[in-house]
């Protein structure tokens, strides 16, 4: 059941990310210029990000470091997906969104030493959010959903453990309670 959600979501998001990046490169080149979509607050601007989210850059080896980190994250996501219950569609959706975004951005890092293609630019005047792409949106929304799902799992496990302890304590009280005196039938 979880594969019916995870696989299509992963493929659709990954293909959408790759297509939108290709369109951005083809139509927005050269990098640096902005094309307003909805006034100045939402526009398209081609940016190559050699670092990570929000421009985090680790020097000359950023590309390789972030590729390795992404590959490690994909392995962890695969294990998390395997441990997901077949009917836990929210967790499968969250994992597939994060994985699709991670794959989309690692493909960019493999294809070009310029970095990840970012093109969605929002903000007001000089106050702009860091430019991002479809993969970034998938990673962010998937990570948020995954955090909610895992938090819910933890709350349920804590409640179940508390109920088990309460039931155990109740059973212990019943076992240790003195038995009512039996009537003396010998009289």
How far apart (Å, rounded) are the C-alpha atoms in residues 104 and 84? 23
Q: Which residue has the tokens 């794959």?
A: 103
How far apart (Å, rounded) are the C-alpha atoms in residues 103 and 2? 19
8 A C-beta contact, residue 135 and residue 101: yes
In sequence order, which ranges of 29-133 are alpha helices (DSSP H)?
62-83, 89-111
How far apart (Å, rounded) are the C-alpha atoms in residues 9 and 17? 12
Q: Which of 17, 108, 118, 121 is catalytic?
A: 118
Active site residue 88: no
Q: Which of 17, 108, 121, 136 is catalytic?
A: 136
Active site residue 136: yes
How far apart (Å, rounded) are the C-alpha atoms in residues 50 and 122? 20
8 A C-beta contact, residue 118 and residue 132: yes
Which are the catalytic amino acids?
A: 118, 136
């Amino acid at each position: 059941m979880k594969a019916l959600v995870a696989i299509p979501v992963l493929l659709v998001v990954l293909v959408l990310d790759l297509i939108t990046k290709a369109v951005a490169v083809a139509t927005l080149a050269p990098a640096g210029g902005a094309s307003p979509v909805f006034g100045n607050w939402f526009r398209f601007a081609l940016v190559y990000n050699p670092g990570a989210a929000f421009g985090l850059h680790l020097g000359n080896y950023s590309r390789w470091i972030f590729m390795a980190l992404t590959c490690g994250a994909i392995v962890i996501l695969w294990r998390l997906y395997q441990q997901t219950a077949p009917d836990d569609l929210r967790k499968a959706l969250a994992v597939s969104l994060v994985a699709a975004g991670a794959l989309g951005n690692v493909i960019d890092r493999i294809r070009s030493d310029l970095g990840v293609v970012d093109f969605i630019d929002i903000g007001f005047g000089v106050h702009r959010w860091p430019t991002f792409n479809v993969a970034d949106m998938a990673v962010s929304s998937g990570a948020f959903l995954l955090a909610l799902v895992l938090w819910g799992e933890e709350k349920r496990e804590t409640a179940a453990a508390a109920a088990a302890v309460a039931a155990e304590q109740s059973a212990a009280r019943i076992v240790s309670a003195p038995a009512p005196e039996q009537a003396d039938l010998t009289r």
